[in-house]
Amino acid sequence: MLLLKEKLLEAINYIKGIKADYGDLRLKDITTEYIKAENGKITSVATSRSKGVGIRIYVNGIMGFAATSNLDNLMDTVKLAYNTAVASAVLNNNKVELSPKKALKDTYATQISINPFEVPLNEKIGVLMACNSVMSNVQDVSSCEAFMSFRKEKVIFADTTGSYITQTFYQSGGGITARATKNGDTQERSFTNYLRAGYEAVLNMKLPEHSEKLAQQAVALTNAENCPEGTFDLILMPSQLQLQIHESVGHPTELDRVLGSEAAFAGASFLAPTDLSANLKYGSEHVTIVADATDSMGDLGLGTFGYDDEGVEAQNITLVKKGVFANFQTSRDNAPIVNQNSYGMGLADGWSNLPIVRMTNINLQPGHFSYDDLVKGVEYGFLLEENKSWSIDDKRVNFQFACEIAHEIKDGKLTGKIYKNPIYTGKTTEFWGSCDGVCSAKYRQMVGVPNCGKGQPMQVMRVAHASSPARFRKVRFISNG
C-alpha cells in the first residue's frame, strides 16, 4: 500500500502528464472538540473528525474541481477534476490567469504549550462547572452557560510546480454568558475568545474569575436605563471594535467582492479597482489597518499560517495607511486583474471547498494614547463593549451595531453609570474618518472570530482582529424601540 505522501505525489505526477496548465491538491485532516455547560449541567460533549482531499486542475485557463474523503480513489477524483475543466471550457470563455508563486517545500506548525486534546475531559468540565456555579450564585441571574472549543487541522498542499507544504494548526477558545430577566426584559453579558494556541489560551482567559463580574453586570443592566438617542463621542473596546473592523474594513477590501464575483451571500463592496490609485480617503490619519497573516506582533490570531491554501506565503499587507486606502485582499485567480500578485489570502473551509479570498488577521494598528487620555478627551459620550447584534448593507457602507453595555463618560471621566441596549450607526468612511485617537500597543487585544461566513455553498472561516481601544467623534446613537 502506498504511503500518504506517495499517493499525493502520484496524483500530482499524473496531472503533470496530461494536458493541463496547472494542478494542485489540498489534504485537510480536521479534529474538533466542543464542551458546554448550561445552568449547572453539561449539555454538550462533541467530537468530530473530517479528512479528505480537494483537487484543482486548470485546462486552457478553465478550472475543474473535485474532492473526496476516500483516498483510495484519489486518481478517479483527479480524472473527475480534469474532465470537469474540459467540459467547463465548452460553456466558459472567461479564462483565468493565476498570479505566479514560488515552488516551495516547507513545514509550519502552531506553537503550543499544552495540547488541548490531551487535557483530561474532567479537567475541562471542572472549569466550566466552576463558571456556572459562580454565575448562578449571583442573585437574579436567570441562566448561564460556559463552553470550550478546540480544533486541530493538519494540511498538506502539493502542486505541479513542485511545492509540497505540510502545516499543523491548533485553535483553542472558550467563553461565558450570564443572563438576567426582569419585567420581561432579558439582558446578558458575555466574554469569549479564540486564539491560535493550545489549552493555555483557555487557562489565560481565567473564565471563572470573570464570571461573577459579568453576572453582576447582567443583573445591573435589567435595572439600567436605555441608552439615550443623539450624537455622542464614542470609545470602542476591542471586544466590539473587532466586529467594526471585520464588517466595515475586512469584507469590503476582499477583491472578489469588489469584482462582483462574491456578492450573493453577504454583499459586494463600495470599493472599485480604480480606488487603488485614487488615494481614497477611508479614515482619519489615526487609522492604519493591516492584513497580517504572519502575526508579526505575536498576537496568536486565528488568521495566522505559514502558507494559504494555494501555497502562497503568509504576508503582512497594509490595507489602509494613515486613513488612505492602500490595498485589496487577493488570491491567485483575481490578483492579476488589478495587476498584482496574490497576497496569500486564498483559503478554503475544509477539503471539499474551493479556496476563495478570505480575511486573515485584520488589525487596527496601535496609536500613542493611553487609556486615561482617551477617556479624558470625551466631554460626554459612551464606552461600549461586546457586540449584541449588527447589520450592514450589501455594499458595506451603512451599518448599525448594538452592544451589550454602555458606560457613561462625562467631563473626561467614567461616571460608573451604565446603560442597556446601546445602538450606534454610521457610514463606513465617515465613521473611520471620525477616529481621533487609538490607544498604544500596551492596550492591544486579539479577538478571534471562528465563524466568518462567506460564499455559496457557504464556507465558515477562522479570522481575527487585533486592536487597542479607539475614540470616535460625533457618532449617532439610536433607540432600540
> Tens digit of pLDDT for each residue in 398-450?
999 999 999 999 999 999 999 999 999 999 999 999 999 999 999 999 999 99
- Average pLDDT score over residue span 251-275: 89
Q: Residue 375: enclosing H or E segment and its boundaries? A: helix 371-376
Reported in sequence order, the residue ranges of 274-412 that DSSP labels E, i.e. its strands, are 289-292, 316-321, 324-325, 346-347, 356-357, 362-364, 380-392, 398-410
236 class by beta-carbon count within 10 Å (0-12 exposed, 13-18 middle, 19+ buried): buried
For residue 96, pLDDT beyond 50: yes
> Can you give the pLDDT at residue 299?
86
Mean pLDDT over each residue of the chain, to the nearest integer? 96
Residue 205 amino acid letter: M
Q: Are strands 346-347 and 164-182 parallel, antiparallel or unpaired?
A: unpaired
Q: Which residues contact 126 (CB under 8 A, 6 or more apart)?
A: none
Q: What is the pLDDT of residue 264?
A: 63
The pLDDT of residue 266 is above 80: no
pLDDT band at 287 (very low <50, low <70, confident <90, very high): very high
Q: Which three cell numbers stand for residue 436?
A: 481621533
pTM of the model: 0.97
Percentage of the chain with pLDDT > 70?
Answer: 99
Integer CA distances (angstroms), 423 to 180, 265, 416, 437, in order: 20, 25, 19, 21
Residue type, 3: L
pLDDT at residue number 17: 95
3-state secondary structure (DSSP) of residue 82: helix
Q: How confident is the model at residue 476 (pLDDT cuts 50, 70, 90)?
A: very high
According to the model, what pLDDT value does residue 1 have? 47
Rounded mean pLDDT of 337-350? 97
pLDDT at 370: 98
Q: What is the mean pLDDT of residues 14-40?
A: 97
Helices assigned H by DSSP within 246-360: 255-259
So what's the pLDDT on residue 93? Answer: 80
> Whole-angstrom distance between the N-terminal and C-terminal Cα of the chain?
66
| pLDDT attached to residue 90 | 85
CA distance 105 to 100: 16
My answer on whether omega of the bond before 457 falls inside 30° of 0, hence cis, is yes
Q: What percent of the chain has pLDDT over 90?
A: 93
At residue 450, the pLDDT reads 97
Q: Residue 265 has what pLDDT?
A: 62
DSSP of 244-276: HHIIIIITTTBHHHHHTSS-TTT---S--GGGG
Q: Above 70 in pLDDT, residue 2?
A: no
pLDDT at 91 over 90: no
pLDDT at 140 over 90: yes
> Residue holding cell 476563495?
356
Least confident of 114-118, 162-166, 383-387, 455-459: 455-459
Q: Is residue 61 predicted with pLDDT exceeding 80?
A: yes
pLDDT over 50 (residue 12)? yes
